[in-house]
Amino acid sequence: MSWKFLRASAAAFLLAVPLAGVAADNYPSQSVKIVVPFPAGGQGIDYVARTLAQRMQNQSGQAVVVDNRPGGGTVIGTGAVAKAPADGYTVLMMANSFTVNPSLQTNLPYDSEKDFSPVSLLTITPHVLVARNDLPANDLKELLALAKKEPGMVTYASIGNGTSPHLAGEMLKKLASVDVVHVPYKGTPLALTALMGGHVDLLFGNLPDVLPYLNDGKLKALAISAPKRHASLPKVPTMEEQGFAEFESNSWYGMLAPANVPDATIQQLNKLVVSILQEKEVQEAFNVRGLDVIASTPAEFKDWLRKEVDKYAQIIKASGARID
């Protein structure tokens, strides 16, 4: 299922969802907890979670709390939701790492397919390859020349082992035949701080997270991994423009509930979330940050997850990616 197909089907689905009555049938009738397996802060998954939480609370009249539980390459927070009661009042905000971990980590304390119920694929955003300002490379060609001239000397940060920025770096290493060193950090804020402080050279960052620093001149962009140039960064060429048509990397954010939550509850939760993503103010706030709204059905998200697991299994096998 392609990004373009999901956006098209989501548009039709959004038009079909009424704004009124989405929290009917007595759900939610108590407080809801949204577990985010990443540190607080940034303009990506935590921002999406907090936006949804506030709007869900406003619509339902029930408290909705965001619970950040980072650690273990997102395994700690994810595992907590897998063990939560199957009533729909504890849900998981997750990203690509959920579909990476089955191939990258052994002995996961949960079954990624059997222990969760898909609710919705919420948003997707491209990765931007950014560099510290004093790195002697201003585009992908110059970066690869530098990496080949000094093997093992160029470093790239990630927001954690098994995250999509980690896999993006491994894909670049494989496709360009360069030796660059992975340096994992515990979340986006720490990775960005290290990059701007000159402790690492590069980062495949989520567009919403790096855009403010690019606009302020604190970082420079070398490439964007998107089908075409992004409106917020019109001067930044795509990976395809610079010779890597097969390179695709992004971050997507979705919502899962524990397995065995009644289907009626899943459908009510999906309608509540989709109605929020339908709001003009929310869409404008997301778009200005580089977040494309998807708002899929549970069935579409289930299919997406299955294909993402297969995709990352192939990437990990081909690149030789490992936990550092």
pLDDT tens readout for residues 189-199: 999 999 999 99
Task: Give the burial string for 21-60 (b: 16+ CB within 10 Å, else e).
Answer: ebbeeebbeeebbbbbbbbeebbbbbbbbbbbbebbbebb
Q: Which two tokens stand for residue 147?
A: 């990496």
Mean pLDDT, rounded, of the chain: 91
CA distance 142 to 217: 20
DSSP-derived letter for residue 238 is B
Question: Residue 238: which residues within 8 A CB-CB, separation 6 or more?
Answer: 223, 224, 225, 226, 227, 228, 229
**Enclosing H/E stretch for 185:** none
Pairing of strands 202-206, 155-158: parallel
Token pair belonging to 17: 């969802």
Indicate the DSSP class of residue 42. Answer: S
Span of 1-15, 65-79, 87-101, 218-232 with lowest mean pLDDT: 1-15
Distance CA 52, CA 48 (A): 6
Of all residues in the chain, the percent with pLDDT exceeding 90 is 81
In this prediction, residue 25 carries a pLDDT of: 66
pLDDT of 1 = 44
For residue 206, give the amino acid letter.
N
Reported for 28-31, long-range contacts at CB under 8 A and 24+ positions apart, including other chains, are: 28/56, 28/60, 28/62, 28/64, 28/88, 28/89, 29/62, 30/62, 30/89, 31/62, 31/63, 31/64, 31/65, 31/89
Report the pLDDT averaged over residues 217-224. 98
Positive or negative, the CA dihedral 174, 175, 178, 184 is negative
pLDDT band of residue 10 (cuts 50, 70, 90) is low
pLDDT of residue 69: 96
pLDDT, one tens digit per residue, over 97-120 is: 999 999 988 899 999 999 999 999
CA distance 306 to 245: 24
Distances (CA, A) of 7 to 11, 123, 182, 308: 6, 10, 33, 17
pLDDT-derived band of residue 322, with 50, 70 and 90 as boundaries? confident
Per the CB < 8 A criterion, the answer to whether 222 and 137 are in contact is yes
**Domain pair 3-125+250-319 / 126-242, same fold:** yes
Q: CA geometry: angle at 295 spanning 273 and 241, to 5°? A: 145
Domain boundaries, given as residue ranges, for the chain:
3-125+250-319, 126-242
Q: What is the pLDDT of residues 145-160, one digit of tens each?
A: 999 999 999 999 999 8
Could you give the maximum distance between any two Cα atoms of the chain, in Å?
64
Task: Report whether pLDDT(90) > 80.
Answer: yes
Q: Which fold has domain 3-125+250-319?
A: D-Maltodextrin-Binding Protein; domain 2 (3.40.190)
Q: What is the CATH number of domain 126-242?
A: 3.40.190.10
Tokens of 253: 């954010």
β-bridge pairing 32-36 and 90-94: parallel
As a whole number of Å, the end-to-end CA separation of the chain is: 31
pLDDT at residue 11 above 70?
no
Distance CA 211, CA 233 (A): 8
Q: Whole-angstrom Cα distance, residue 34 to residue 66?
A: 5
